[in-house]
Structure 1
Amino acid sequence: MRIYLPATWPMLARTVSTGSFEPLGGTAFALTPKLRESYVAGDDEELEYAAMSEAARASLRLLAVEFGLGETGTPARRVVVAADTDDVTLRPDLDDGAVRLTGPVPVAKIAAVHVDLPEAEHAVREAAAAVDKADLGDLDAEFLVGEAEDHELAWYAPSELAFLVELGS
């Protein structure tokens, strides 16, 4: 199963140094039966994109925490790690596409890394500050989050992970 793991730049750096990705709280997103049911139409590719988008929104939440803790050196870019594993359980108590992993994901199971380009940083920083209010229905905050989500995530191969981390340092 293809899963999408929300991340931040420091999490990518730890992945490079340890050889495995440690998902916060074991949470990831995937094309689950519940996610499939929540869409009236769409092929698997479109629904996979929806799961990745949920992970990107979760990355904003992770960035909000890091920025709130004063981590000013963290690049303001959403990060989503795509991996292939069947070692997941469904999380019907969370979002439609939420799954839980039982442990870290080895780098060998990473299929791709998706990150914002530098030109998205201003919008992502604004969105990270507003994501909680957006989740509660604040229209101005939803607009700010939408501005960040208008930026497409760039795709990187797993072999480019160390280079990508160095580039963002």
Structure 2
Amino acid sequence: MYVFLPSTLPALATVLDEGRVRVPVAFAADTDDEEAEYEAMYAAAEESLRLLAQDPAAPRRRVVLVANLADHLVEEEGREGPDVVRVRITGDSIPYKRLASAHIDDEAAAPDVAAAVADPDSGAADDHELMWYALQELRHLLA
């Protein structure tokens, strides 16, 4: 099962240093439909805005990490939409090796992401698609 984990660039740096992701909240599609997975990814992106609001020094770019986990490690906590669920991950972290990819805003989105952090109901970041990154690209991205 693919699970979408909200994050920030500083938190991503910590993931790369520690080799694990601490997971306070995550999202998943309750179907194998690609559109539902897309919706789950953007639910995590919305949560990333809340994380950015808690860290004023973090670059204003949403980050969503994608982990591939066995179903028994994921427990549903509530619905976030017709095909999206908020989930809890068994244990306190996910090993880096379970990550499949990352989705991150382009630098050009930073002003709109900053506006969305300041006013989450503004929809300021809604027109920006998250960019896909392979795991081996992440250290270069943060350099």
TM-score, shorter chain, exceeding 0.5: yes
Matched, 1:127 2:116: yes
Two-structure CA RMSD over aligned residues (Å): 1.4
1:29, distance to aligned residue in structure 2 (A): 0.3
Identity among equivalent positions (%) equals 42
Counterpart residue type for residue 110 of structure 1: L
1:45, distance to aligned residue in structure 2 (A): 0.5
The corresponding residue for 2:60 is 76
1:95, distance to aligned residue in structure 2 (A): 2.6
- Cα distance in 2 between the residues matched to 1:95 and 1:46: 14
Q: Give the TM-score taking structure 2 as reference length.
A: 0.90
The corresponding residue for 1:2 is 2
- Cα distance in 2 between the residues matched to 1:147 and 1:10: 22
Counterpart residue type for residue 126 of structure 2: E
- Cα distance in 1 between the residues matched to 2:135 and 2:94: 13
- Cα distance in 2 between the residues matched to 1:121 and 1:153: 12
Note the residue ranges of structure 1 that are not aligned, 5 or more in a row.
Answer: 37-42, 135-143
The corresponding residue for 2:29 is 31
1:158, distance to aligned residue in structure 2 (A): 1.0
Matched, 1:106 2:95: yes
Structure with greater proportional helix content: 1
The corresponding residue for 2:38 is 49
Give CA deviations for 1:80-127 in whole Å, capped at 9, x if unaligned. Answer: 0011012111002x6342001122111111111000001100000010
Note the residue ranges of structure 2 that are not aligned, 5 or more in a row.
Answer: none
- Cα distance in 2 between the residues matched to 1:164 and 1:81: 14
Count how many residue pairs are aligned between Structure 1 and Structure 2.
137
- Cα distance in 1 between the residues matched to 2:136 and 2:97: 10
Deviating 4+ runs (over 3 angstroms) = none
Among residues 47, 65, 85, which one is paired with 2:54 in the alignment? Answer: 65
- Cα distance in 1 between the residues matched to 2:98 and 2:140: 18
Among residues 74, 80, 88, which one is paired with 1:95 in the alignment? Answer: 80
CA contact (8 A) 1:107 1:158 kept: no
Flag the structure with larger Rg: 1
Structure with greater proportional strand content: 2
- Cα distance in 1 between the residues matched to 2:134 and 2:3: 15
Counterpart residue type for residue 89 of structure 2: L
